[in-house]
């Protein structure tokens, strides 16, 4: 098993009538996301900005080639497309039940 440390698992997912590659998040990255979620929900004034910031960070962590994107660049995409990719990332990384809602 040790020889697999650092191995990256990639999946192609639909995005804006094309595809992007997403990485399966590591335990450390999942814990970081969970920490960000806790902080945003504990905020006295949870705002749409906090939710967008969380969405952008998830995408930066998992979408191949998105780590250097600015908030302004993310804001040029349709929100529904970004949300769909984020939900796929969360499911692919084991953060949600892929059968929920079915």
CATH of the domain at 80: 3.30.2220
Q: Does pTM top 0.85 for this prediction?
A: no
Assigned domain for 19 exists: yes
Assigned domain for 101 exists: no
Assigned domain for 77 exists: yes
The angle at the Cα of 8, spanning 93 to 17, to the nearest 5 degrees, equals 65
pLDDT at 102: 46
The angle at the Cα of 14, spanning 21 to 37, to the nearest 5 degrees, equals 70
The structure tokens listed for 53 are 């910031």
Q: Is residue 101's pLDDT more than 60?
A: no
- Domain of residue 36 covers 2-92
Contacts of 56 (CB under 8 A, 6+ apart): 69, 71, 74
Domain count along the chain? 1
Look at the block and give the residue holding tokens 């020889």.
3
Assigned domain for 20 exists: yes
- Can you give the C-alpha Rg of the chain in angstroms? 14
pLDDT tens, 69-84?
A: 999 999 999 999 999 9
Assigned domain for 30 exists: yes
Confidence band (pLDDT; 50, 70, 90) for 94?
A: confident
The structure tokens listed for 49 are 């900005």
Assigned domain for 16 exists: yes
């Amino acid at each position: 098993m040790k020889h697999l440390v650092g191995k990256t698992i990639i999946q192609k997912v639909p995005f804006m009538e094309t595809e992007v590659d997403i990485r399966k998040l590591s335990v450390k990255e999942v814990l970081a996301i969970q920490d960000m979620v806790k902080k945003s929900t504990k905020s006295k004034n949870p705002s749409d900005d906090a939710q967008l910031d969380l969405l952008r960070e998830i995408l930066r962590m998992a979408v191949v080639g998105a780590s250097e994107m600015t908030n302004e660049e993310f804001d040029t995409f349709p929100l529904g497309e970004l949300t769909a990719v984020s939900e796929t990332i969360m499911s692919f990384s084991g953060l949600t039940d892929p059968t929920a809602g079915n």
